[in-house]
Amino acid sequence: MSSSLNSHLIKKVLDPEIKFKEATSEYVDFTLSNVDLSLANSLRRVMISEIPTLAIDSVEVEKNTTVLADEFLAHRLGLIPLESYDIDKLRYNRECTCDNYCNRCSVTLILNVIATEDSSKSVYSRDLTIVQNDHIKNLKLGNPAVSNDVPEGILICKLRKGQELTVKCIAKKGISKEHAKWDSAAAIEFEYDPWNKLNHTDYWYETDAKVEWPIGKNHRDEIEPNEDDKFDYQAEPTVFYIGVESAKSLPANQIVIRGIDMLRQKVDGIYQELENMDRGLDLEEDLNNNINNGLGMDIGYQDENLGEEGDAYGMPNFAEQDIGYNEASNNNDDYGEANFSDDDEGDAAW
């Protein structure tokens, strides 16, 4: 290969690099460099839809005298984020051997509130209490997630004096690909080529795009292009700006870490399948070689000289006494010559 003619095909491979610009328990902003667009987008999709969390999956309403229907309350309860830091200690319900649910695949929460005062009583997610068991003891799992700004949690409903709400909630492990209630991230930012040097998007504007489209926070990380520069048709995006906002069930940094680990597991699974495919092809090739080397003699394989008209696969030679059973024989041999005549009155029997 000529280096002068194919130099544009040779790329310098660099190790992927992550640079964090901001990191809190609720938000992480980082830059992912030296990777392909498909890999960066795969990480984004995995963080959105395949990070396992805990969420209320079924609700058993024992008493509800509020103005809200049971189905409405069950829907609101299902969207409450629950602490899921130790979610790996819990099984998926579909993989558990129990009939419905058990301590190894679920967490039980109880909500029992009654309004006794004249003013209305607000019911928050903090009013949910976990039914403790030995399996989830000392685990960061199942508690309603709250923030410092709103310590009482999410408002579930309001009760007037005398109204009561008693429910039993069963929380199970899942991913947001199955239902949005298992979503670990409230939002994920994803941007590349902030100056649009690659012309990957068209700006809609009325008079002037530069005036009507404000400069974003990621523009300062790259040099503004010169309008007189020639367009590079070989250029590809290699720097990606990603921001992750947590839904409170997991810290934002854990969403990124577990997303990378999940993506690694997927790539490893593809690698293992390809390895198994290679082993399968090798086994098939060995089997074909064994057959070609004459290991098929037991099924009637004959030498070329034995077959008719040069056919290597001639008819196998079976002994006559192996074909029929003769009950009545002139001698004392139980296995006599078989009778294949049309006469059924003979002594030969099958």
Give the pairing of strands 141-144 and 82-84. Answer: antiparallel
Residue 78 has what pLDDT?
A: 96
What domain range includes position 93?
53-183
CB 191 within 8 A of CB 109: no
Residue 72 has what pLDDT?
A: 96
Token reading at 190: 């994803």
Q: How far apart are CA 39 and CA 43, in angstroms?
A: 6
Residues of the chain with pLDDT under 70: 1-13, 281-283, 292-350
Task: List the Cα angle 214/220/226 in 5-degree steps.
Answer: 80
CB 127 within 8 A of CB 117: no
Q: How far apart are the first and last CA of the chain?
A: 77
Structural domain contains residue 239: no
Structural domain contains residue 81: yes
Verdict on whether the full-model pTM lies above 0.75:
no
Structural domain contains residue 282: no
Residue 5 has what pLDDT?
A: 46
Supply the CATH number for residue 117's domain: 2.170.120.12
CB 32 within 8 A of CB 43: yes
Q: How far apart are CA 252 and CA 190, in angstroms?
A: 15
- Give SS3 for 179: coil
CB 84 within 8 A of CB 63: no
Q: How far apart are CA 307 and CA 298, in angstroms?
A: 15
Token reading at 124: 């928050």
Structural domain contains residue 254: no
**Dihedral sign, CA of 245, 250, 253, 255?**
negative
Structural domain contains residue 145: yes
The total domain count for the chain is 1
Q: What burial class does residue 115 get, using C-beta atoms within 10 Å of its C-beta: 0-12 exposed, 13-18 middle, 19+ buried?
A: buried
Structural domain contains residue 57: yes
Structural domain contains residue 327: no
Task: List the Cα angle 75/79/82 in 5-degree steps.
Answer: 135
Of 247, 190, 243, 271, the closest CA to residue 51 belongs to 247
User: Mind spelling out the 3-state secondary structure of 254-314?
Assistant: HHHHHHHHHHHHHHHHHHHHHHHHHHHHHHHHHHHHHHHCCCCHHHCCCCCCCCHHHCCCC
Structural domain contains residue 164: yes
CB 111 within 8 A of CB 127: yes
